[in-house]
């Protein structure tokens, strides 16, 4: 499988190069040259396959023989070594709980897969690699945990000061060793802008071997398809109709992976992009006018993105055809007040605790189902409620139990370097670090 640069289709690379480089010329994202189809028999009989086999079949066509199949199977076993249950909340809405991994967020799956692929590809290199990543919340913790202690890899994480939760911040900043956390005076979009600028800076690229671990990297983006298949396997046990799938959306890598799986043959009635006040995509779906905005700070901070970088991949999936896209995906914007009300109501009615991102998804799904009676579906639960104790405890008036693994982490000291959203400060840090 070759991958082409969405900004220059003449630039084509293999999976290894796309994983190591992160992005192509002119900050272009890589995209698979063809969309491998699932066999009908496979999709109709998922219950007959183990989760590992499903994940392996999902990924192998994208990698070919670049990773031997026995190594790829090991990588996959480590990637999904925790449960990913589909739980019923109400008669019409279930939730896929993607927060049972080491950092209690859905990004554990992509980060674990990518870190192990990168480690495999670098084992014969004599250069140290610097993984540069911007985070609006959960990416940084998942990447830090995924790469922690791996030889010949440094990780530099940029996150917006005062815009991540205390648990998220500790997951980014408490590990040390090969993990470096930079606290940026600015927004997530500023952090992402600095990362993109670094990749085009000749001086830094001559001295450092850089790659990215955001969902712009295909080795982080593609494995997110896996859990859509694992959800369908569980869905098929009790349901005949295809589900409506509602995804909390910020940078749009997660829903883009779901749409890719769908175009390969995964049954889905419809997709919903559930956004907070950062409503660039819902507005685009109404007006056909894509207008990036400055990111607004909200309770669902991992979705505080004003210029979602994966949206170009979604447009490519649909051949730049607005009509095809609009038939398959709806967008909803949910404000903080509605988010809090949803957490309160769902706990009161169903005894289920949502955190802000999954609450945005639940509210969006309710709205869609009220307009489309007779449909059912599931939302993606992208983070554990304990990561957002202030909002959740205020909404449900109950203290959340902290898992044992987090107790130890919260006692650790925060190790960060504070910088302004100024490229010169980041440049100095990167060159001095080495």
Residues 229 and 204 in one domain: no
Query: Is 226 inside any structural domain?
Result: yes
Average pLDDT (2-10) is 97
Work out whether the CA dihedral 357, 358, 364, 368 comes out positive or negative. positive
Average pLDDT (149-167) is 92
Is residue 357 within 8 Å of 301, Cβ to Cβ?
A: no
**pLDDT of the residue at 368:** 98
Please give the radius of gyration of the chain, using alpha carbons only, rounded to the nearest integer.
20
| Chain centre to alpha carbon of residue 174 | 22
Tell me whether strands 209-212 and 129-134 are parallel, antiparallel or unpaired.
parallel
Residue 295, both tokens = 């990111």
**pLDDT of the residue at 381:** 98
Q: What distance in Å separates the CA atoms of residue 23 and residue 205, rounded to the nearest whole number?
A: 13
Q: pTM for this structure?
A: 0.91
**pLDDT of the residue at 214:** 76
Which residues does 78 contact at the CB level (< 8 Å), separation at least 6? 112, 116
Per-residue model confidence as pLDDT tens digits over 56-109: 999 999 999 999 999 999 999 999 999 999 999 999 999 999 999 989 999 999
Residue 147, both tokens = 């790469």
Residues 121 and 262 in one domain: no
Residues 136 and 157 in one domain: yes
Average pLDDT (247-253) is 95
Residue 134, both tokens = 């911007």
Residues in the chain: 434
Average pLDDT (143-152) is 91
Kindly name the residue from 21, 107, 161, 170 that is annotated as catalytic.
107
**pLDDT of the residue at 67:** 98
- Helix (H) / strand (E) containing 96: strand 93-97
**pLDDT of the residue at 404:** 82
Question: Helix, strand or coil for residue 16?
Answer: helix
Query: Is 49 inside any structural domain?
Result: no
Query: Is 148 inside any structural domain?
Result: yes
Residues 236 and 177 in one domain: no
Residues 125 and 210 in one domain: yes
Query: How many CA atoms does the CB half-sphere of 402 hold within 13 Å?
Result: 14
Q: Output the domain CATH number for residue 324.
A: 3.40.50.1100
Query: Is 372 inside any structural domain?
Result: yes
DSSP string covering 85-141: -EEE-SSSEEEEE---STTSBTHHHHHHHHHHHHHHHHTT--S-EEEEEE-SSHHHH
Work out whether the CA dihedral 232, 247, 341, 282 comes out positive or negative. negative
Residue 56, both tokens = 């392996």
| C-alpha to C-alpha distances, 347 to 57, 84, 88, 379, nearest whole angstrom | 38, 21, 13, 16
Per-residue model confidence as pLDDT tens digits over 402-415: 888 788 888 899 99
DSSP tag of 302: G
**Angle at 215 (CA atoms; ends 132, 213), nearest 5 degrees:** 25
Total structural domains within the chain:
2
Residues 364 and 416 in one domain: no
Q: What percentage of the chain has pLDDT greater than the value 90?
A: 84
CB neighbours (10 Å) of residue 23? 25
Residues 255 and 208 in one domain: no
* Mean pLDDT over each residue of the chain, to the nearest integer: 94
Provide the domain limits for residue 200: 108-216+410-432
Identify the bridge partners of residue 185 per DSSP, sorted by sequence position: 420
Query: Residue 151 above 90 pLDDT?
Result: no
Query: Residue 212 above 90 pLDDT?
Result: no
Residues 243 and 366 in one domain: yes
Question: Helix, strand or coil for residue 43?
Answer: helix
DSSP tag of 64: T
| Chain centre to alpha carbon of residue 214 | 8
DSSP tag of 186: S
Query: Is 44 inside any structural domain?
Result: no
Q: What distance in Å separates the CA atoms of residue 167 and residue 409, rounded to the nearest whole number?
A: 9
Average pLDDT (262-287) is 97
Query: Is 260 inside any structural domain?
Result: yes
Is 107 known to be catalytic? yes
**pLDDT of the residue at 196:** 87
Query: Residue 167 above 90 pLDDT?
Result: no
Residues 243 and 317 in one domain: yes
Pick left, alpha or beta for residue 26 (phi over 0 → left; psi -120 to 50 → alpha; otherwise beta).
Answer: left
Residues 98 and 204 in one domain: no
Query: Is 283 inside any structural domain?
Result: yes
Give, to the nearest 10 degrees, the angle between helix 138-147 and helix 166-173: 30
Query: Residue 130 above 90 pLDDT?
Result: yes
| Band (401; pLDDT cuts 50, 70, 90) | confident
Average pLDDT (322-348) is 98
Per-residue model confidence as pLDDT tens digits over 13-65: 999 999 998 889 888 999 999 999 999 999 999 999 999 999 999 999 999 99
| Chain centre to alpha carbon of residue 340 | 23
Query: Residue 137 above 80 pLDDT?
Result: no
Residues 382 and 428 in one domain: no
**pLDDT of the residue at 13:** 98
Query: Is 316 inside any structural domain?
Result: yes
Residues 184 and 324 in one domain: no
**pLDDT of the residue at 68:** 98
């Amino acid at each position: 499988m070759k991958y082409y640069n969405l900004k220059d289709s003449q630039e084509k690379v293999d999976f290894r190069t796309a994983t190591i480089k992160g992005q192509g010329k002119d900050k272009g994202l890589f995209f698979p040259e063809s969309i491998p189809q699932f066999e009908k028999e496979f999709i109709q009989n998922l219950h007959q396959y183990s989760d590992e086999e499903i994940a392996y079949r999902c990924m192998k066509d994208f990698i070919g023989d670049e990773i031997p199949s026995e190594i790829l199977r090991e990588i996959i076993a480590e990637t999904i070594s925790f449960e990913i249950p589909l739980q019923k909340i109400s008669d019409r809405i279930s939730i896929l709980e993607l927060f049972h991994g080491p950092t209690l967020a859905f990004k554990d799956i992509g980060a674990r897969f990518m870190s192990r692929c990168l480690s495999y590809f670098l084992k014969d290199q004599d250069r140290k690699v610097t993984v540069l990543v911007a985070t609006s919340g959960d990416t940084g913790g998942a990447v830090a945990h995924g790469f922690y202690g791996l030889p010949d890899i440094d990780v530099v994480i940029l996150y917006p000061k005062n815009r991540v939760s205390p648990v998220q911040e500790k997951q980014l900043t408490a590990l040390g060793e090969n993990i470096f956390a930079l606290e940026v005076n600015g927004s997530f979009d500023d952090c992402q802008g600095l990362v993109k600028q670094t990749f085009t800076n000749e001086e830094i690229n001559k001295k450092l071997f850089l790659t990215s671990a955001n969902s712009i990297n295909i080795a982080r983006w593609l494995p997110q398809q896996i859990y859509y298949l694992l959800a369908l396997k569980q869905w098929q046990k009790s349901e005949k109709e295809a589900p409506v799938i509602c995804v909390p959306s910020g940078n749009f890598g997660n829903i883009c992976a779901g749409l890719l799986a769908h175009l390969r043959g995964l049954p889905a009635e419809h997709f919903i992009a559930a956004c907070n006040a950062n409503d660039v995509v819902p507005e685009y779906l109404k007006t056909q006018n894509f207008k990036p905005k400055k990111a607004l700070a909200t309770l669902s901070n991992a979705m505080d993105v004003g210029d979602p970088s994966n949206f170009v991949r979604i447009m490519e999936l649909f051949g730049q055809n607005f009509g095809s896209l609009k038939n398959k995906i709806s967008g909803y914007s949910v404000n903080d007040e509605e988010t809090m009300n949803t957490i309160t109501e769902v706990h009161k009615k169903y005894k289920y605790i949502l955190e802000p991102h999954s609450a945005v998804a639940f509210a969006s799904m309710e709205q869609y189902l009220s307009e489309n009676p007779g449909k059912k579906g599931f939302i993606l639960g992208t983070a554990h409620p304990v990561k957002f104790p202030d909002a959740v405890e205020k909404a449900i008036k109950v203290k959340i139990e902290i898992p044992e693994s987090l107790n130890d982490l919260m006692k650790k000291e925060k190790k960060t370097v504070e910088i302004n959203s100024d490229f010169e400060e980041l440049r100095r840090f990167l060159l001095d670090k080495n």
